[in-house]
Homo-oligomer: A and B are copies of this chain.
Amino acid sequence: MTIVQKYGGTSVGTLDRLRNVARRVAARAAEGEQIAVVVSAMGKTTDDLLSLARAVNPRPPRRETDLLMATGEMVSSALLTMALVEMGCPSVALTGAQAGVFTDDTFGRARIRGIDTWRMEEEFAQGHVVVVAGFQGQSPQGDYATLGRGGSDTSAVALGAALRAKQVEIYTDVQGIYTSDPRIEPNARCLKDIASEEMLEAAQQGAGVMHPRAVELGLLYEIPILVASSQAEFGSGNGTLIRGKVEMEPENRVRTIALDRDVASVTLRHIPDRPGIASQLFGPLADAGVSVDTIVQNASELQLTDLTFTVTKDDWERTQEISRPLAGELGAADVLFDHDLVKVSLIGTGMQSGPGYAATMFRSLSDAGINIELITTSEIRITCLVRADRGEEAVRVLHSAFALDQEI
């Protein structure tokens, strides 16, 4: 059976840590597992290379930037392989291209199109551990393309899918997925497991441990993903298993609370209600590449409607530039901008069937004197926008209200 392991930049940040990773991999290989290891560049290499590029050209060409970035993972994969060989564990290092990872040619944020596993299978057949340079693949013209944010996690899960791995293991500097950020709520528990859809919501709400893109792949291909600390021993009960399969029976509880600080909101008040408002507003925003997160529209008064939507802080300025004139065209009474908000989300596959969760959420926040500015829901998520300075408190209030510190 094949497993795929992924180690991030911090896990291989120094030669000592790199050797430590090699020891772990060699130990698993000795147990008889066929292993593919995906590595990121060592430490801050990627950032350093980007700085080097910008020192030469403030707007470096994307193709050559990717070529430059790709060397980081080539160095770490070559060194990790050398360490494995030194420990008596036969291994080979493959670039993304050599591992058969094919992408489009959107340099800097390429998407994987497919993976041809012939080389990896050949190496496995010779009893080799295969170390793959993460974050990269080969464009149609044979150029290096890097995968953008969450690239190495995505490489790992995609390889897992292509190799029909029994599990993908993402090694990082935290113990696993928690009921909430332990830095906000000290009583937060590390979950033993979590459903893929719950993990996806959490990742999309900025949970930070894994990129949503990689989680989504795992869900799509039904691959279990273990998220664990690179410091702890394997099999010691370390980590959270993202279960992979779509849930047949929902768990009927709140799994985790996410806090997303990357939020800004726009409200157009008292727009004369008529067909076409939404497309007149969101069309231009989409054309400008602004990703609209949450949209809430409700009737305010007679044939007037209020429209509120949120964007990320990166898109804040562009959103204001576009919204002001559009608000005028739409006949809105005024436009309100607010970037002092955060999103607090309850996530859990069982919640849609039980009305009590929303009620408990709203009441707990209200009892704590925390005003809810906006509410949106999905099948497995209830999100409230609250004032930024009440955000962490809101997390603690909800963590306690749903007794998440206790294992059920």
- Chain A residues with a Cβ under 8 A of chain B: 15, 18-19, 49, 52-53, 55-58, 60-61, 63-65, 67-68, 70-71, 74-75, 77-79, 81-83, 85-86, 92-93, 95, 98, 119, 142-143
Contacts and interface: CB of A to CB of B under 8 A. Distances in A.
B75 A68 contact: yes
Contact of A82 (B53, B79, B92, B143): B53
Give the residue among A56, A68, A77, A98 with the most B Cβ atoms within 10 A: A56
B74 A61 contact: no
A143 B79 contact: no
Given A15-B55, A56-B86, 13 more contacts: A15-B56, A53-B79, A57-B86, A61-B81, A63-B92, A64-B78, A65-B78, A67-B74, A67-B77, A67-B93, A67-B95, A70-B74, A71-B71
Contact of A18 (B56, B70, B75, B119): B56
Contacts of A67: 74, 77-78, 93, 95
A160 to B, nearest CB: 23
A82 B56 contact: yes
A115 to B, nearest CB: 16
Nearest to A87: B57
A60 B57 CA distance: 35
Contacts of A63: 92-93
Shortest beta-carbon contacts, A-B, top 6: A71-B71, A57-B86, A57-B82, A68-B78, A64-B78, A60-B82
A95 B61 CA distance: 16
A143 B98 contact: yes
Contact of A68 (B52, B55, B74): B74
A19 B68 CA distance: 17
Nearest to A84: B57
Nearest to A73: B71
B79 A52 contact: yes
A64 B132 CA distance: 12
Contacts of A15: 52, 55-56
A94 to B, nearest CB: 9
Nearest to A74: B71
Given A71-B74, A98-B142, A64 B93 contact: yes
B75 A71 contact: yes
Contacts of A71: 71, 74-75
Given A19-B56, A67-B74, A142-B98, A61 B85 contact: yes
Nearest to A119: B142
A142 B142 CA distance: 12
Give the residue among A64, A95, A98 with the most B Cβ atoms within 10 A: A64
Contacts of A95: 67
A61 B15 CA distance: 17
A15 B60 CA distance: 15
Contacts of A86: 56-58
A68 B61 contact: no
Contacts of A52: 15, 75, 79
Nearest to A68: B78
A203 B344 CA distance: 72
Contacts of A142: 98, 119
